[in-house]
Chain A
Amino acid sequence: MFEPVLLKNIDAPDGHLLSTFEAGGGYRALAKALREYTPDEVVELVKRSNLRGRGGAGFSTGMKWSFVPKQTGKPKYLCCNADEGEPGTFKDRIIMERDPHQLVEGLAVSAYAIRAKTAYVYIRGEYVTAIRRLEQAIAEAHEKGYLGTGILGSDFNFAIHIHCGAGAYICGEETAMLESLEGKRAQPRLKPPFPAVAGLYASPTVINNVETLACVPHIVTRGPDWFRGIGPDKSPGPKLYCLSGQVHKPGLYELPMGIPLRELVEDHAGGPLPGRKIKAVIPGGVSAPVIPERGLDVGMDFDSLAAAGSMLGSAGVVVIDDSTCMVKVATRIIEFFHHESCGKCTPCREGLNWVVKVLRRIEAGDGAPGDLEQLDMLCKGIFGNTFCALGDGAAMGLQGRTRAFPR
């Protein structure tokens, strides 16, 4: 039986309080890291664990941390991406609402590793409960000396600040988030320079997702081999899956990476609603191409889903049954991207506008021969030609849907 670690406290009535967290072994990873390891050794542990970012792109976390230059006169920053805007995704909210100390400890250990003294947690403004709980957790941790100056008798100083977003999906893109933190409109930056070299206030900056950071203390406590022993070696670890849509038991599930999508949907989430059949599943938020029912045996990890022409993304698993029209699904998703396009580059801003028009016409029953070809041409014009991955995600998702359901 797989033993959950990330969701261990999730159903505890006082899971958000320090006392509950400490009783379950909380802040021991921080104490261990400070006592037994140098910052570089923590980076090494995380590298050896093969932890890959849970925010969507699946980049190696240890590798990302090792790009931070050690000798600079500038301060280093850790930014936590808690913007969680990918439709179908709600895991970071639940961690912050029910077990916020897990994130606080993850931030502290990670900041120690990259030698940052300040972290900003960028939380979407709608998450009022999560914001309150995290504020409370930060205050409690300060009082107990897990944050502040000379943490647990070491010479490590560290403070966490919350920065509330104000409703823009693009703020989840890491360089747009940095612009937003600097008080500007959230429009992505040109890379390079990468944030690890010149990020927030042009200083070395690491940006990690909430779930990624929450994994770090467990790696310190249980060791990288434990982590790598769960799921595929190249894409391992415990993983949070967000199940929603037309499914019997929607909710948040913690299971190993690589679990077959079919098992996740049919066994754990109880399969389709009574009397319905599953038509397709979006495996990783709406940027991820849909997987038709016959493809459900794919493993839920970065590499297997990429090989199947989709992606793990944010692990927002949206189940669609046979009562739903796929054109309607496609239209709604493209409307979302069109609405959230930041307007900086033409292929995304104008291209999505045209895609929405064609799709709405098809949905209204006025499809014409050549429409699919036109959509394909529009997607090709967008994919690979945009400034950030929002445009790519929109085009890739749509092409996946038209390939799987060419009607």
Chain B
Amino acid sequence: MTMREKIEEAAARYPDQRSAIMPALLIAQKEHGHLPGPLLEEVADILGVERIWVYELATFYTLFHTEPVGMFHLQLCDNISCMLCGSEDLLKHLETVLGIKRGDTTPDGLFTLSTVECLGACEMAPVMQVGDDYHGNLNVARINALLDSLRATVGRVASVEHASTRPPGE
């Protein structure tokens, strides 16, 4: 399905097109990684709604990114239960090993580091969300292993792409 088709399918769930702006922005962000201005305008045009309505939502809700983020968005919870279970030390550790401050992206574009409010998974505090996945009961060793496995997936993606672009017979 194209982005337009996905958005139109989502819009059919509501009696009013304006309600479909949020789902449409989630779809658009999933496809493009973030939401630059022209994409917001495209969403508005697909739904036939005012552009300002779309801008308004893209800037109000924190899950929408109008700026690019790294390939892996590390979202460490630092709310109450995670704080009580040591998230502050994990933040310091991440800042040290990645060489960036929270809110920043590594120069190679791999990791963006953020802190977020409660992820609703406090039973496994401290918790970090990476992409769609939750990683809980974290400590320094687990964070290191997680970063390694994320880097390894990039290696795999790159080598698969490389293999498929190689001419046959080589």
Binding site for B on A (CB under 8 A): 84-90, 92-93, 124-129, 161, 163-169, 180-186, 201, 242-246, 250-252, 282, 286, 316, 318-320, 324, 328-329, 332-333, 336, 339-340
Contact = CB atoms under 8 A, between A and B. Distances in A.
B92 to A, nearest CB: 16
A242 B80 contact: no
A161 B13 CA distance: 7
B84 A87 contact: no
Contacts of A246: 84-85
A340 B83 CA distance: 18
Interface string B98-132: 00000000000000000011111111110001001
Interface stretch (B15-23, B142-150, B151-159): B15-23
Nearest to A84: B120
A286 B122 CA distance: 13
A182 B16 contact: yes
B2 interface: no
Contacts of B83: 328, 332
A82 B121 CA distance: 14
11 contacts: A85-B117, A89-B122, A128-B132, A129-B132, A163-B22, A163-B23, A167-B63, A169-B117, A184-B18, A319-B84, A332-B79
A167 B58 CA distance: 11
Interface in B1-43: 13-23, 25-26
Contact of B123 (A124, A184, A242): A242
A184 B25 CA distance: 13
B120 A244 contact: no
A313 B133 CA distance: 28
Contacts, number: 137
A355 B88 CA distance: 22
A250 B123 contact: yes
A181 B19 contact: yes
A242 to B, nearest CB: 7
B95 to A, nearest CB: 19
A243 to B, nearest CB: 7
B19 A185 contact: no
Given A164-B26, A246-B84, A126 B120 contact: yes
Given A86-B118, A93-B120, A252-B123, 19 more contacts: A84-B120, A85-B120, A87-B79, A88-B80, A88-B122, A89-B122, A125-B26, A164-B22, A165-B63, A167-B64, A169-B117, A182-B16, A184-B18, A244-B122, A245-B85, A250-B81, A318-B80, A332-B79, A340-B117
A167 B62 contact: yes
B18 A201 contact: no
A201 B15 CA distance: 9
B118 A166 contact: no
Which residue among B20, B53, B79, B123 has the maximum number of chain A CB atoms within 10 Å of its CB?
A: B123
B118 A164 contact: no
Contact of A243 (B53, B79, B123, B134): B123
Nearest to A187: B60
